[in-house]
Structure 1
Amino acid sequence: MNQSQETPAWKMNGFLILLLDLVLLVAGAYLIIMENLLGVLFVLVFLISLPGFTLIQPNEARVLLFFGKYVGSVCEDGLFWTNPFTLKKKVSLRVRNFQSDKLKVNDADGNPVLIGAVIVWRVVDSAKALLDVENYGSFVAVQSETAIRTITGRYPYDRQDEKDISLRTSPEEVTDNLRLELQQRLKIAGVEVLEARISHLAYAPEIAQAMLRRQQAQAIIAARKQIVEGAMSMVEMTLSHLEKQGVVQLDEERKASMANNLMVALVSERESQPVINTGTLYT
């Protein structure tokens, strides 16, 4: 497929041509009144030149087609005069938003998730946008949803290891990859993707409760692991401190017993009840 490339179109200052047209009209009217056939020619030239005027607003462009052939684009705002026999098609260069629907997609682990995204884009090549795709607005919408599905399938919804990229824990990396994926797809339409952000992310309703329980279990396991590691460190520090200070001399059996009691007191979910040893009563 031959791709179009935006090129500047030939144009002239519209106000200057408007002034010349007014002179032609006045001169033509005067000559016609004077019964001079040259006046008819002047008026005819005036009428032919009128379609050549085009008024362009800021952030707009005109794509010029001369008998079906692309001859250039006018992207500057103002009043211009171009070839009056060209067809002038308007293309907006303004920034636009596209918000996708909530799509149900399987993540990298095969779990169905609901995901939506907001895409910020604009046209940067008017020729490609108008001539290389049927409707660039619809093209952006379809390709955006396709890119969202592709990116969602590459990553899992969640990961316990913070170093691994996931949809929930690594939003910046995921959206950067989404923007790059989408930019590659929309390059053919002369569209620049300015930003891509995930606007909605959740497990699909049919597995949401099960996944919530799994997340809660994983969180409890991670918390208990941290508690046990902290308790072991405190026990080791306590025994080491007692030995260095010479407060009490403990054999291996008593060390094990004290470590066991400290671990139970530190790790237990209930408050420990202290037992005071007052010595042994002999009768």
Structure 2
Amino acid sequence: MKQKPVEQVSALEIGPVRGIASVEQRAFGLPGVPALLLWFLLLAVAGGLFWVGQPLLGGLLLAVTFLVLVAGFFVVQPNQASVITLFGRYVGTERRNGFYWTNPFTTRKKLSLRIRNFSSQQLKVNDAGGSPIEIAAVVVWRVVDTARASFDVENYEEFVHIQAETALRHLASQYGYDDHQDHQFSLRGNPDEVAAALVTELGSRLEHAGVEILEARLSHLAYAPEIAGAMLQRQQAGAILAARQIIVQGAVGMVEMALAQLSERNIVELDEERKAQMVSNLLVVLTSERGTQPVVNAGSLY
């Protein structure tokens, strides 16, 4: 009988298996002060048994009190959580600050909920146009799901760093360094839009690790050294061209205004040839990079 071929699926297509992702839940915890008072009471009872001549019963009660109850006390600092497991099974997370008591047979692992940030290394990648560039980013993040951060990834801090580098490389390949075409985003020209896209991509990548991205912005952006000189000349040429366009537009407007005022005030009547000569002279004066030398005509108009 012909066997059905096994369909091969890549790891990227599979993604996280639904139903296996951990979900944070509140752990069982009693206020630590009443539990401590109960512990002292049991110690007093054990001492009383010793006093009345019941050393065996008092010693047993003392041992149970010391070994069992004391091991259940723990402290949760501000912006800190305690992830609690019982014999390898996750039973909950305590986020409330203070002094608490829980099942003494559980294992408790502290996890910081503080806001953190890190600066990625300068990566050498190609932008959307294929130009080699250097890019780096600053990422601000925090843990929002302690269960996923503890059990769904091996090391959530290392996971954040690696995924940030991967997202930054992917982002750089989606945009050009400069906006050489109209109505297109660029890494240099649209920093807010690029930052928002980076936050969105990082958020989707780190959601399964229980991490929230608060902010991500480019901290370094430059052409690679091998093309930096050529790209600088290109930028200078573009700036010069843009300045020339503004100068020419202004000069044409000034010439048009001068001809209109001469005509309205009847100062002088010029034929088409003289108008063309006047326009040429004014444009030379207005668009020249250096100061022009005027020539005074002391004779007739023609």
TM-score relative to the length of structure 1: 0.95
Aligned equivalent of 1:10, options 7, 28, 37: 28
- The CA distance in 2 between the partners of 1:280 and 1:191, in whole Å, is 86
Match of 2:171 among 148, 151, 160: 151
Q: Does 1:40 align with 2:59?
A: yes
TM-aligned CA deviation for residue 32 of structure 1: 3.2
List structure 1 runs of 4+ shifted beyond 4 angstroms.
160-163
Aligned partner of residue 103 in structure 2, secondary structure: coil
What corresponds to 1:79 in structure 2?
99
1:141 correspondence with 2:161: yes
Partner secondary structure for residue 55 of structure 1: strand
2-structure distance, mates of 1:78, 1:249: 94
Q: What is the match of residue 127 of structure 2?
A: 107
1:184-199 aligned at under 5 Å gives the runs 184-199=204-219
Corresponding residue to 1:118 among 126, 138, 150 = 138
Is the aligned partner of 1:264 residue 2:284? Answer: yes
What SS does the aligned partner of 2:174 have?
A: coil
- Asked if 2 retains the 8 angstrom alpha-carbon contact of 1:114 and 1:201, the reply is yes
What amino acid sits opposite 1:224 in the alignment?
R
Cα contact 1:114–1:202 (8 A) shared by 2: yes
Matches within 5 A, 1:112-261: 112-160=132-180, 163-261=183-281
C-alpha deviation, 1:45, in angstroms: 2.8
Counterpart among 110, 126, 142 of residue 90 in structure 1: 110
CA distance in 2, matches of 1:280, 1:26: 127
Query: How far off is 1:36 after superposition?
Result: 4.8
Question: How far 1:161 moved relative to its partner?
Answer: 6.0
Partners of 1:258 and 1:161 lie apart in 2 by 37
Matched residues in 2 for 1:13 and 1:75: separation? 13
Judge which range, 42-51 or 221-230, deviates more: 42-51
1:241-277 Cα distance to aligned partner (Å, 9 max, x none): 1111111111111111111111111111121111111
Alpha carbons 1:99, 1:119 under 8 Å: kept: yes
Q: Is the 8 A contact 1:162 1:169 kept in 2?
A: no
Deviations 1:204-256 (A, max 9, x none): 11110110011111111111111111111111111111111111111111111
Q: Which runs of 5+ in 1 are unaligned?
A: none
Q: CA deviation at 1:165?
A: 1.7
Give the deviation of 1:102 after TM superposition: 0.5
| CA deviation map 1:62-91 (0-9, x unaligned) | 111111111110011111001111111111
Q: Distance in 1 between matches of 2:250 and 2:184?
A: 25
Deviation, 1:162, is: 7.2
Distance (whole Å) between structure 2 residues aligned to residue 162 and residue 19 of structure 1 = 74
Supply the distance in 2 between the matched residues of 1:262 and 1:280 (Cα, whole angstroms): 20
> What is the CA-CA distance between 1:39 and the residue it aligns to?
1.7
**Contact 1:52/1:83 (CA < 8 Å) preserved in 2?**
yes
Q: 1:23-34 residue pairs with structure 2 within 5 A?
A: 23-33=41-51, 34=53
How many residues align? The count is: 281
CA contact (8 A) 1:113 1:203 kept: yes
Give, in whole Å, the separation in 2 of the partners of 1:111 and 1:32.
84
Contact 1:99 1:118 survives alignment (8 Å):
yes
Residue aligned with 2:140, SS: strand
Q: CA deviation at 1:26?
A: 2.3
Q: Could you tell me how far apart the structure 2 residues matched to 1:143 and 1:32 are?
A: 62
Distance 2:151 2:300 in 1: 99
Deviation of 1:29 after TM superposition, in Å, equals 2.9
